[in-house]
Amino acid sequence: MTTTSERRAESRTRQVSQSISQSVFDGSPLRVVLLVDVHDGAQQQFLEAYEQMCNQIASVPGHVSDQLCQSIENPSQWLITSEWESAPPFLTWVNSEEHVQMVRPLHNCVRDTRSLRFHIVRETGAATAKTDPAGRRLQAAPRIGDGVIRHALTFTVKPGSEETVAKILADYASPQPRVDDTTRLCRTSLFMHGNRVVRAVEVRGDLLAALRHVARQPEVRAVEEAINPYLEQDRDLEDPESARVFFTRAALPAVHHVTNGQDTPDTERHALYYPAREGRGMRLAELLAELDAAAADDPDSPVVRSTIFQRDDVVVRLIDLRGGLDADPAPVFGLHDRTRAAELPELLDADALGADVSALKKGAAARLLMLARMDLITDRSASDA
């Protein structure tokens, strides 16, 4: 018989699961689908490039298998599917410099690509339980999203140019929010921490279509050209390969999102920057996701929603919260959970934050707030456009 406490726990679990629209940390196997449109006459070149890449991928930790398929209706259309033990090892690889270099030969012979990533929820045949015979843990339940895709870009500018860059980025005309009949820009938030820029976007519909739409707008193109001289990584927007590599390296995917209530008149948007120690970015993002999940079960938490973005050792948390960031920083950081809070300073690159670990441990909430807080440059919703 199910006890009252068990029913309450199950109810809380359902409520939390319904509030989460995205997370890569549930341990489920991952299926990656890559749709590829190959230039006419370049099929053999593409096949050879794929085979070379495939041999390299086979040794990547977490990789299980892959398949290459060619359309029976249009030989220029190809489909690459791969399976991974879970999402974190795939994201670690796909966001690495090794991956940027590995896929270069493919881009010489393809017209367009589109990548889709899916957690495996159920399988037919013998694998019908939450854990299949191979010991994999399938996603326990479907997630309930809000129809919004969240993504971010990050890059650094030359030290000393921060004020100039901030002015350029803040002073531009917003592009039209409507992309097409099914895609719309919802919100763009731009922050800086020292010389690091983070631009977070929220899109309803097709993210890739939205990003391409924005890139084509004259007002956006003018801003991109204006900040070019100040970038630490050179780029030439007239050179498709240069632009592709820059934006590939700048991509800062959302790895977790949780919602805990509705906006109120005093809801504010903030961003926090968490530079991780080398090789610890994914674990740091996972720890923050655990703190967010715990906060989502707390009706008194000031956090309305939180999105965690991570690439390599760069972790950024975008939060909407009631009452502002300075009211009580401890609940914002989840530092009331002493076990997880004790791990946080060990994962952070204290030098990058300009502090030592002992200082973070002693005055964790207030000290971390001061160091991690990003400066808001602009925050525009579709209604502002």
Domain covering 149-253, topology: Alpha-Beta Plaits (3.30.70)
Domain covering 30-119, topology: Alpha-Beta Plaits (3.30.70)
pLDDT at 362 over 60: no
- Confidence (pLDDT) at 364: 59
- Confidence (pLDDT) at 374: 95
**According to CATH, where is 3.30.70.100 located in the chain?**
30-119
Q: Residue 10: how many CB atoms within 10 A of its CB? A: 11
Render pLDDT for 330-342 as a digit per residue (tens, 0 to 9): 666 666 667 777 7
Cα angle, residue 102 at apex, residues 101 and 105 outer, rounded to 5°: 95
Render pLDDT for 117-130 as a digit per residue (tens, 0 to 9): 999 988 876 544 44
Q: What gap in Å lies between CA 203 and CA 177, rounded to an integer?
A: 9
Cα angle, residue 295 at apex, residues 193 and 189 outer, rounded to 5°: 30
Q: Are 359 and 369 in contact (CB under 8 A)?
A: no
What average pLDDT score do residues 261-278 get?
Answer: 89
- 216 pLDDT tier (thresholds 50, 70, 90): confident
pLDDT at 385 over 50: no
Higher pLDDT, 359 or 305: 305
- Confidence (pLDDT) at 322: 86
DSSP strand E in 176-223: where? Answer: 184-193, 196-204
Strand partners, 38: 110
To the nearest 10 degrees (0 to 180), the angle between helices 338-347 and 281-296 is: 150
Please state which of the ranges 71-75, 181-185, 322-326 shows the lowest mean pLDDT.
322-326
Q: What gap in Å lies between CA 136 and CA 287, rounded to an integer?
A: 22
**According to CATH, where is 3.30.70.1090 located in the chain?**
149-253
Q: Residue 91: how many CB atoms within 10 A of its CB? A: 23
Architecture of domain 254-377: 2-Layer Sandwich (3.30)
Q: Which residue has the tokens 């359309």?
A: 71
- 138 pLDDT tier (thresholds 50, 70, 90): confident
What average pLDDT score do residues 168-177 get?
Answer: 86
CA gyration radius, the chain: 22
pTM for the full predicted model: 0.87
Cα angle, residue 357 at apex, residues 351 and 363 outer, rounded to 5°: 120
Strand partners, 68: 80
- Confidence (pLDDT) at 356: 64
Query: For 136, which DSSP code?
Result: -
Q: How far is CA 27 from CA 88, 89, 243, 340, in A?
A: 9, 11, 34, 19
- 8 pLDDT tier (thresholds 50, 70, 90): very low
